[in-house]
């Protein structure tokens, strides 16, 4: 037998005896071609290099306390083959040099800038810091941005969040126990004691990808939950961090090759950031091996063997034996067939169905009643503010929402508001009194930290249980969460994501990491403002003039078809009662506010009011037990603000000077009643229960009719408000179908190829035996092992998916797409109205509604779509029918009316318990279709397309987004390019 090749392991002992290195060295020695020589700490640290063992190949890499210069001297003396070259390892300790090297080799890195300080706290003329950005050499980085020490051995990395999301900072660090990051809500300013890299925060959907190379032709990638989300390390029952192997795209494989070559490290690891359809490399490490993957150990040993033989014994055969030597005595494991999973929700359509898509549109959670104030201004200070925040251009209206804007407004109003008691009003004209009162309201609203959101856990994947998080982590789930720009909506979405994915910690990092804001799709009523104004005018006339609440054209057989459906017949009589009861509540709160005011005015009012802090406003989600025990309002509202809230409602609801009701204030009165009945029941406001019932009776009729006084008007308004959202829903469904078809076609082709191959192998068994070794060598040494769905077209990128070669998953091809859209009440009503009445459109004459008759009756009786109400679409694929069969894809429609107020209307123990806990139960889902009915995707598209925004109305498409959402997948399939009209859509693939 030829002399064995000596492999010198010049590595600190704590690294040598780690599980991955032990596993790989054991496999290398099992080939019988190598002798592994461990140098040991004593030799490395104490003995001269001349006395170190002589070897043919050297494995040496830096770790804490390692004498890298000494190792370089040994390599220069003995000239062994270096698996990882030594001199380039110095680069890995300096992040700026790592980025420079990557850029030199054309590897994409995040946009970044350097801040170099010679001394702590050195002032730099090229560095500027403002509330929501830093500027370095003219490059501006808006929050969220990342701050990394230049020293790569310093793992204290900071992420700074924008004030609009609550501000604060998250510190990332190497794992300590079960944590890898901490959130600091009060830290707003960046560090100044050292040198740092500032770079754009890449929205990766809460996922980090670690890539491990073994030579330039082999790369293995694993995903884990990013520490930027909640900082909790996800571990398995053995206490090891949970990671999941994923496929790399061809472009990412090339990046891995370039990293390996650029730093001349045969074995190395690096972080891969996948964001908005692009991939970036950061934080390249030295010698790195995957943990806890026996298949990976097999591959790594085979690749290293070839690398070492090619370098030192090319005359020896590098063909891998048919059976790997360490597997000779292993028992043959039975092949585990892939099993299909049914929907797990209803078995009506059999176990051949698989859940493919979940789309949910959800109303935000409970919050302090709306405290938006519209104010006509003439004061110079306020006009100057309008100019300032309109870019110096005069405009008729300005919205001030950010913390900085609101603080400026607060400072201005403090100087303008007259200092009067709540029970004293001046003798000015009524308009002056109202204007001063509005200024007080502005001032009060700015000083409140509101209760925002409440945690809501929803299980839309029955049967998955705790496996839902695993489904995300394995990249078999493609989840994206959208929110409107409203703060309360964003916080509700973040809280929902926190509960759904079992996350921990503050909402701000979750919000920034997992949410995509889309104002054009989920905000605003501008597109239907004219129609809504007409509906409200008609509604006002119907209520205040004691007119009939039902139009004679309506059909009594279908009560939802009449004009003004849902309005109480005695609405005009309830209005004066509503006003009187509102005054009664306002007077009680005024007396409470007077005592609080007297205490405050013992000192300067300006001094005792803290500045508006949006971070605390967004982050506060807990009920203040101490305040409630002290007889104060829930949260930090205070009696003064509570009085301002009720006083505003009293004034706006009925103008005594003009003797005019404003029915648009009815929903706000109802919201205030609901809030105080749940959160401030301990104040025992007399008449609140009665006011709630009156307001509820009116609101149940007013709110739905604000979106159309009759079905045709509801359909028109609904389609105008929700047309962008409807267009996006159709794209979600279409993308899912095309992806599922592509997977099915791929699987069929693979099955067919396998069958053909089997026949050929049976007839040419001798040839198979001759070529077997060569095939195995290729399989184990090329990076193609992860290209499960890649054909000969190298330009076609594979999807970001679980790598079934390494993952212990029964159905790796199963893929679920989820889109969650958090919005306001207006979009819930609009979307539901389109689903209910789309068949009334002239282009759909003769079609039945998407909503069945029973559901139409239930919706007509539903009093409101309350907090956390939702509409859910689920799409199932029947894998037993032909791909072209319309019944291949079925749509299921359900809805929940959200928070259940019924218990609050009683005075029993359940109502008492809910008031004490400040919570309301969420109603379960209700069907919008008959049991056993079959709504095909084809019919769904036909019914909705007339009301959805067509692709050509959207802005020009940007670069296709391939990786978006929490543990998402790339869905830009080549076959979709030719499909009308979705390939032109800017949301395509998101």
Per residue, the 3-state secondary structure of 668-693, as one string, reads: HHHHHHHHHHHHCHHHCCCCHHHHHH
Instruction: Using the predicted structure, report yes or no on whether residue 990 has a pLDDT greater than 70.
Output: no
The answer to whether residue 654 scores a pLDDT higher than 50 is yes
pLDDT digits (tens, 9 = 90+) for 250-265: 789 899 999 999 999 9
Report which of residues 747 and 151 the model is more confident about.
151
Q: Is 869's pLDDT higher than 80?
A: yes
In this chain, the answer to whether the domains covering 5-87 and 92-316 adopt an identical fold is: no
Kindly tell me if the per-residue pLDDT of 376 is higher than 90: no
DSSP 429: -
Q: What is the dihedral of CA 581, 583, 586, 588, to 10 degrees?
A: -70
- What confidence score (pLDDT) does residue 972 get? 25
pLDDT of residue 125: 94
Residue 141 reports pLDDT greater than 90:
yes
Distance CA 684, CA 588 (A): 10
**In the chain, where are the structural domains located?**
5-87, 92-316, 565-610+624-707
Residue 273 — very low, low, confident or very high, per pLDDT cuts 50/70/90?
A: very high
pLDDT exceeding 70 applies to what percent of the chain?
70
Comparing 676-685, 712-721, 785-794, which segment has the lowest mean pLDDT? Answer: 785-794
By the 8 A CB rule, do 855 and 394 touch? no
Is beta strand 81-82 parallel, antiparallel or unpaired with respect to 57-60? parallel
**Helices 250-262 and 95-104: angle between axes, nearest 10 degrees:** 120
**Which among 141-155, 368-382, 422-436, 937-951 has the top mean pLDDT?**
141-155
**Model confidence at 750: pLDDT above 70:** no
In this structure, are residues 875 and 894 in contact, taking their beta carbons and an 8 Å threshold? no
Task: Answer yes or no: is pLDDT of 777 > 80.
Answer: no
Nearest to 190 by CA among 121, 282, 94: 121
> What mean pLDDT is predicted for residues 940-950?
89
What band does 792 get if pLDDT is binned at 50, 70 and 90?
A: very low
Higher-confidence residue of 338 and 81: namely: 81
Note the pLDDT of residue 464. 45
Topology given in CATH for the domain delimited by 5-87: Rossmann fold (3.40.50)
Instruction: Convert 683-715 to b/e letters by CB count within 10 Å (16 or more is b).
Output: bebebbbebbebbbbbbbbbbbbbbbbbbebbb
Range with the poorest average pLDDT among 50-54, 98-102, 267-271, 288-292: 288-292
Sheet strands side by side (includes 244-246): 244-246, 219-225, 207-214, 267-275, 278-285
Pairing of strands 477-483, 816-823: parallel
Q: What tokens appear for 616 in the block?
A: 């605390």
- The string of pLDDT tens digits covering residues 94-129 is 999 999 999 999 999 999 999 999 999 999 999 999
Looking at residue 437, its pLDDT comes to 43
Q: Of 35-49, 209-223, 764-778, where does mean pLDDT reach its minimum?
A: 764-778
Judge whether residue 177 has pLDDT over 70. Answer: yes
Instruction: Give the pair of three-digit tokens for residue 886.
Output: 């319309």
State the pLDDT at residue 147: 98
- Axis crossing angle, helix 688-705 with helix 825-837, rounded to the nearest 10: 50
Residue-level pLDDT at 729: 93
User: Is a pLDDT exceeding 60 seen at residue 737?
Assistant: yes
Query: Would you state the pLDDT for residue 611?
Result: 44
Q: Inform me whether the pLDDT recorded for 249 exceeds 60.
A: yes
Quote the pLDDT of residue 986. 39
Name the class of domain 92-316: alpha beta
Six-digit token pair at 533? Answer: 């104004």
Residue 690 has pLDDT above 90, yes or no: yes
Contact 539, 702 (CB under 8 A): yes
DSSP per-residue letters across 175-235: EETTEEEEEETT--SPP-SS-EEEEEPP--TTEEEEEEEESTT-EEEEEEE-TTTS-BPPB
**Type and span of the H or E element at 133:** strand 133-136
Report pLDDT for 94.
95
The pLDDT value given to residue 140: 96
In this structure, the strands spanning 660-661 and 816-823 are: unpaired
Residue of 887 and 449 predicted with greater confidence? 887
- pLDDT of residue 952 exceeding 80, the answer is no
Residues 873-900: what's their mean pLDDT? 90
The percent of residues above 90 in pLDDT, for the chain, comes to 34
What pLDDT does 527 receive?
79
Q: What is the DSSP string of 64-110?
A: TT--HHHHHHHHHHH-PEESB-SGGGGGGGBHHHHHHHHHHTT----
Instruction: Round the average pLDDT of the chain to a whole number and report it.
Output: 76
Q: What is the pLDDT of residue 447?
A: 32
- The per-residue pLDDT for 291 is 85
| Residue 355: other Cβ atoms inside 10 A | 25
CB 3, CB 35: distance < 8 Å: no
Q: What pLDDT score was predicted for residue 988?
A: 35
Instruction: Report d(CA 477, CA 551) in Å as an integer.
Output: 49
pLDDT value for 918: 72
Is pLDDT at 658 greater than 80 in this prediction? yes
pTM of the model: 0.71
Q: Which residue has the higher pLDDT, 860 or 192?
A: 192
Q: What is the mean pLDDT of residues 208-220?
A: 91
What pLDDT, on a 0 to 100 scale, did the predictor assign at position 128?
96
SS (H, E, C) 713-751: HHHHHHHHHHHHHHHHHHHHHHHHHHHHHHHHHHHHHHH
956-967: average pLDDT: 30
d(CA 734, CA 731): 5
Does residue 853 surpass a pLDDT of 60? yes
Q: How confident is the model at residue 371 (pLDDT cuts 50, 70, 90)?
A: low
pLDDT, greater one: 889 or 755: 889
Lowest mean pLDDT among 174-183, 236-245, 402-411, 838-847: 402-411
Look at residue 345 in the predicted model and tell me its pLDDT: 34
**Is the pLDDT reported for residue 840 higher than 50?**
yes
Q: Which of 474-483, 526-535, 940-949 has the highest mean pLDDT?
A: 940-949
**CA distance linking residue 212 with residue 68, whole number of Å:** 22
How much is the pLDDT for 250?
Answer: 78
Residue 780 has pLDDT above 90, yes or no: no
Among 25, 8, 15, 29, residue whose Cα is nearest residue 286: 15
Mean per-residue pLDDT for 58-76?
94
Maximum mean pLDDT: which of 40-54, 311-325, 501-515, 970-984: 40-54
40 pLDDT above the threshold of 90:
yes
Most confident listed range (76-85, 480-489, 752-761): 76-85
Using an 8 Å Cβ cutoff, are 438 and 649 in contact?
Answer: no
- DSSP track, 527-589: GGHHHHHHHHHHHHHHHHTT--SS-TTS-TTSGGGSTTTT--TTHHHHHHHHHHHHHHHHHHH
């Amino acid at each position: 037998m030829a002399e064995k090749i000596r492999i010198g392991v010049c590595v600190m002992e704590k690294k040598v005896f780690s599980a991955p290195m032990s596993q790989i060295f054991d496999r290398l020695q099992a080939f019988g071609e190598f002798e592994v020589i461990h140098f040991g700490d004593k030799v490395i640290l104490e003995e001269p290099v001349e006395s170190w063992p002589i070897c043919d190949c050297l494995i040496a890499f830096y770790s804490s306390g390692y004498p890298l210069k000494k190792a370089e001297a040994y390599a220069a003396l003995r000239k062994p083959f270096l698996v990882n070259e030594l001199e380039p390892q110095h680069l890995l300790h300096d992040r700026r040099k790592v980025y420079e090297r990557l850029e030199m080799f054309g590897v994409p890195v995040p946009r970044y800038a350097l801040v170099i300080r010679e001394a702590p706290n050195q002032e730099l003329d090229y560095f500027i810091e403002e509330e929501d950005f830093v500027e370095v050499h003219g490059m501006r980085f808006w929050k969220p941005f990342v701050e990394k020490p230049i020293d790569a051995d310093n793992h204290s990395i900071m992420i700074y969040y924008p004030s609009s999301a609550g501000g604060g900072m998250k510190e990332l660090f190497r794992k300590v126990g079960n944590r890898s990051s901490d959130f600091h809500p009060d830290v707003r300013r960046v560090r100044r004691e050292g040198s740092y890299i500032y770079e754009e925060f890449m929205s990766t959907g809460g996922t980090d990808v670690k890539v491990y190379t073994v030579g330039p032709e082999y790369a293995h990638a694993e995903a884990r939950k990013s520490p930027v989300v909640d900082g909790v390390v996800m571990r398995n029952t053995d206490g090891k961090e949970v990671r999941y192997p994923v496929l790399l795209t061809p472009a990412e494989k090339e990046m891995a090759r370039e990293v390996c070559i650029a730093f001349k490290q045969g074995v190395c690891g690096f972080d891969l950031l996948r964001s908005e359809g692009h991939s970036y490399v950061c934080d390249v490490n030295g010698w790195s091996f995957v943990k806890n993957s026996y298949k990976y150990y097999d591959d790594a040993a085979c690749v290293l063997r070839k690398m070492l033989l090619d370098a030192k014994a090319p005359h020896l055969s590098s063909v891998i034996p048919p059976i790997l030597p360490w597997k000779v005595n292993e028992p043959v494991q039975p092949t585990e067939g892939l099993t299909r999973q049914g929907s797990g929700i209803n078995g009506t359509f059999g176990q051949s169905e698989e859940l493919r898509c979940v789309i949910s549109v959800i109303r935000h959670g409970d919050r302090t009643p709306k405290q938006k104030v519209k104010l006509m201004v003439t004061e110079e200070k306020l006009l100057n503010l309008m100019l300032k925040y309109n870019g110096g251009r005069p405009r008729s209206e300005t919205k001030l929402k950010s913390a900085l804007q609101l603080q400026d407004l607060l400072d201005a109003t403090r100087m303008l508001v007259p200092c009067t008691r709540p029970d004293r009003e001046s003798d000015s004209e009524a308009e002056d009194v109202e204007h001063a009162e509005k200024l007080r309201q502005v001032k009060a609203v700015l000083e409140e930290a509101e209760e925002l959101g409440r945690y809501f856990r929803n299980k839309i994947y029955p049967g998955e249980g705790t496996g839902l998080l695993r489904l995300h982590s394995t990249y078999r789930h493609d989840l994206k969460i959208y929110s409107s720009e409203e703060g309360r909506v964003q916080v509700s979405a973040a809280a929902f994501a926190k509960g759904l994915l079992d996350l921990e910690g503050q909402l701000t990092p979750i919000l920034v990491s997992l949410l995509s804001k889309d104002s054009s799709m989920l905000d605003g009523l501008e597109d239907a403002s004219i129609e809504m104004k007409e509906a409200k005018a008609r509604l006002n006339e119907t209520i205040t003039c004691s007119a009939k609440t039902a139009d004679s054209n309506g059909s009594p057989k279908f009560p939802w078809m009449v004009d003004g459906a849902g309005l109480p017949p005695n609405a005009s009589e309830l209005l004066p009662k509503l006003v009187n009861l509102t005054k009664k509540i306002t007077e009680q709160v005024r007396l409470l506010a007077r005592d609080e005011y007297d205490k405050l005015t013992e000192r300067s009012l300006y001094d005792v009011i803290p500045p508006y802090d949006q971070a605390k406003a967004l982050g506060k989600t807990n009920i203040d037990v101490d305040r409630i025990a002290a007889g104060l309002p829930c949260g930090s509202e205070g009696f003064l603000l509570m009085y301002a809230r009720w006083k505003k409602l009293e004034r706006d609801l009925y103008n005594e000077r003009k003797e005019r009701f404003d029915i648009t204030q009815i929903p706000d009165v109802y919201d205030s009643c609901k809030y105080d009945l749940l959160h401030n029941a301990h104040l025992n406001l007399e008449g609140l229960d009665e006011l709630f019932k009156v307001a509820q009776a009116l609101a149940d009729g007013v709110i739905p009719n604000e979106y159309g006084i009759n079905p045709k008007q509801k359909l028109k308004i609904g389609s105008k408000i929700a047309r962008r959202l409807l267009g996006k829903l159709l794209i979600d469904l279409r993308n899912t179908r095309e992806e599922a078809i592509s997977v099915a076609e791929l699987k069929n082709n693979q099955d067919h190829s396998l069958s053909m191959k089997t026949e050929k192998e049976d007839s040419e068994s001798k040839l198979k035996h001759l070529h077997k070794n060569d095939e195995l060598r290729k399989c184990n040494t090329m990076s193609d092992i992860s290209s499960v769905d890649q054909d000969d077209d190298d330009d076609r990128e594979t999807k970001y998916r679980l790598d079934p070669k390494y993952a212990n998953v029964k159905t790796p091809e199963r893929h679920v797409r989820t889109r969650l859209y958090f919005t306001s009440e207006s979009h819930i009503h609009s979307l539901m109205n389109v689903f209910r009445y789309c068949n009334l459109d002239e282009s759909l004459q003769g079609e039945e509604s998407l909503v069945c008759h029973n559901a139409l009756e239930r919706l007509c009786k539903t009093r409101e779509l309350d907090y956390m109400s939702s509409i859910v679409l689920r799409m199932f694929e029947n894998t037993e029918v032909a791909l072209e069969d319309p019944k291949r894809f079925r749509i299921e429609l359900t809805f929940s009316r959200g928070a259940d107020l019924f218990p609050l209307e009683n005075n029993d123990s359940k109502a008492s318990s809910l008031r004490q806990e400040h919570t309301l139960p969420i109603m379960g889902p209700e069907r919008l279709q008959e049991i056993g009915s079959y709504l095909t995707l084809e019919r769904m598209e036909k019914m909705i397309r007339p009301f959805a925004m067509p692709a050509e109305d959207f802005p020009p498409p940007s670069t296709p987004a391939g990786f978006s959402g929490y543990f998402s997948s790339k869905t830009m399939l080549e076959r979709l390019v030719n499909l009308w009209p979705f390939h032109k859509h800017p949301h395509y693939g998101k």
